């Protein structure tokens, strides 16, 4: 089975994240780039499916040159090869643009199963899996906490507010996973050393036949017109209970329009 995992490099949530004053997009150089956490679960699930059913796992990432670190991590975990979609024309793409770029690349490299994390810690739109499925004309099985494959049949347990839904489809398909699905492995030294020798193919917009009118900052459907740094948190007020604590608490809540 030909499994492609889409991974994304995001700014480390443990460091301070900034927008760039140049074009109001995320400043990807300001923070350390790390693999998006949910993408690690996607890689793990791909590796598990490969271990059970055979096949090959390809990592696909769209991002600047430094996203190679994220590719290396996924390869060190055990993926077989990678495709790095990198082109200045892609900078500032929104979810629609990104889904076009990734879908075009997926059509080029071929796939039986595409796996993604259900959202990224930077943009958090959580719509990419659905958009990709639509563009590729395949079933979408999103928010999976469990994936089962039997021949060309795929079924998942889709997390809902009240429990889970059982969703079944036929491959090829696009799946997005949640953190309940598995425990991602830590790269071993053998995996790290092996990753050095694994092939990483670089694609530009022309290679993947991406329509440049649909990607990049200029084609984005939303625009950040201005931003301001969040003001530091003001000190809270301490209310002393002199027998009227309840009334004071109610007064506070009313002033904030909670009651």
Partner 1 sequence: MHRLTDEYEALRKSVEEFSREVVAPVIGDYYERCAFPYDIVAQMGRMGLFGLPIPEEHGGMGGDYFALCLALEELARVDSSVAITLEAAVSLGAMPIHRYGTDAQKAEWLPRLTSGETLGAFGLTEPGGGSDVPGGMRTTATLDGGEWVINGSKAFITNSGTDITGFVAVAAITGHREPGEDGRARPEISTIIVPSGTPGFAVSKKYSKVGWSASDTRELSFTDCRVPEAGLLGERGRGYAQFLRTLDEGRVAIAALSVGLAQGCVDECLRYVRERRAFGQEIGRYQAIQFKIADMEVRTHTARLAYYHAAEKMLAGEPFKKEAAIAKLVSSNAAMDNARDATQIFGGYGFMNEFPVGRFYRDAKILEIGEGTSEVQRMLIARQLGLPA
Which residues lie closer than 8 Å to 179 by C-beta, 6 or more apart? 37, 38, 41
- From the list 59-67, 121-129, 159-167, 186-194, the region that binds partner 1 by CB under 8 A is 186-194
- From the list 69-77, 108-116, 136-144, 170-178, the region that binds partner 1 by CB under 8 A is 69-77
**Closer of 197 and 256 to partner 1 (Cβ):** 197
**Closer of 73 and 84 to partner 1 (Cβ):** 73
Count CA atoms closer than 13 A to 37's CA, side-chain side: 12
Among 22, 124, 196, 233, which residue sits at the site for partner 1 (rule: CB under 8 A)?
A: 196
Q: Is 193 in the site for partner 1 (CB under 8 A)?
A: yes
- From the list 16-24, 125-133, 191-199, 216-224, the region that binds partner 1 by CB under 8 A is 191-199
Per CB under 8 A, contacts with partner 1 among 75-104 are 76
Residue 72 CB, nearest approach to partner 1 (Å) = 7
Residue 23 to residue 149: CA distance in whole angstroms: 44
- From the list 93-101, 105-113, 118-126, 179-187, the region that binds partner 1 by CB under 8 A is 179-187
Which residues lie closer than 8 Å to 168 by C-beta, 6 or more apart? 153, 154, 155, 156
Q: Is 192 in the site for partner 1 (CB under 8 A)?
A: yes
Among 189, 229, 237, 256, which residue sits at the site for partner 1 (rule: CB under 8 A)?
A: 189
Judge contact between 142 and 159, C-beta under 8 A: no
Among 125, 188, 201, 202, which residue sits at the site for partner 1 (rule: CB under 8 A)?
A: 188
Instruction: List the structure tokens of 31.
Output: 């923070």
Residue 178 CB, nearest approach to partner 1 (Å) = 18
Tell me, residue by residue from 29 to 68, as one string, x for binding to partner 1 by CB under 8 A and - for no binding. ----------------------------------------
Angle at CA of residue 238, ends 234 and 241, nearest 5°? 165
Residue 193 CB, nearest approach to partner 1 (Å) = 6
Q: Is 190 in the site for partner 1 (CB under 8 A)?
A: yes
**Closer of 166 and 190 to partner 1 (Cβ):** 190
Binding site for partner 1 (CB under 8 A): 72-73, 76, 185-193, 195-196
């Amino acid at each position: 089975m030909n499994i492609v995992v889409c991974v994304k490099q995001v700014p480390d949530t443990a460091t301070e994240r900034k927008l760039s004053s140049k074009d109001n997009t995320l400043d990807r150089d300001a923070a350390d780039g790390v693999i998006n956490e949910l993408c690690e679960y996607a890689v793990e699930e791909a590796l598990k499916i490969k271990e059970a059913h055979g096949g090959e796992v390809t990592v696909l990432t769209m991002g600047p040159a430094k996203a190679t670190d994220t590719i290396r991590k996924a390869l060190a975990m055990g993926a077989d090869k990678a495709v790095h979609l990198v082109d200045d024309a892609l900078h500032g793409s929104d979810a629609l643009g990104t889904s076009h770029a990734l879908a075009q690349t997926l059509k080029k490299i071929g796939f039986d199963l595409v796996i993604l994390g259900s959202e990224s810690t930077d943009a958090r739109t959580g719509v990419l899996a659905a958009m990709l499925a639509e563009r590729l004309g395949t079933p979408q099985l999103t928010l999976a906490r469990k994936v089962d494959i039997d021949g060309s049949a795929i079924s998942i347990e889709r997390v809902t507010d009240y429990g889970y839904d059982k969703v079944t489809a036929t491959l090829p398909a696009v799946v997005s996973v949640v953190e309940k699905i598995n425990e991602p492995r830590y790269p071993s030294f053998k995996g790290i050393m092996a990753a050095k020798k694994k092939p990483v193919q670089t694609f530009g917009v022309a290679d993947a036949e991406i329509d440049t009118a649909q990607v990049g900052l200029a084609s984005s459907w939303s625009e950040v017109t201005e931003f301001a740094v969040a003001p530091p948190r003001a000190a809270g007020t301490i209310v002393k209970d002199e027998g009227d604590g309840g009334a004071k608490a109610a007064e506070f809540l009313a002033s904030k329009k909670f009651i």
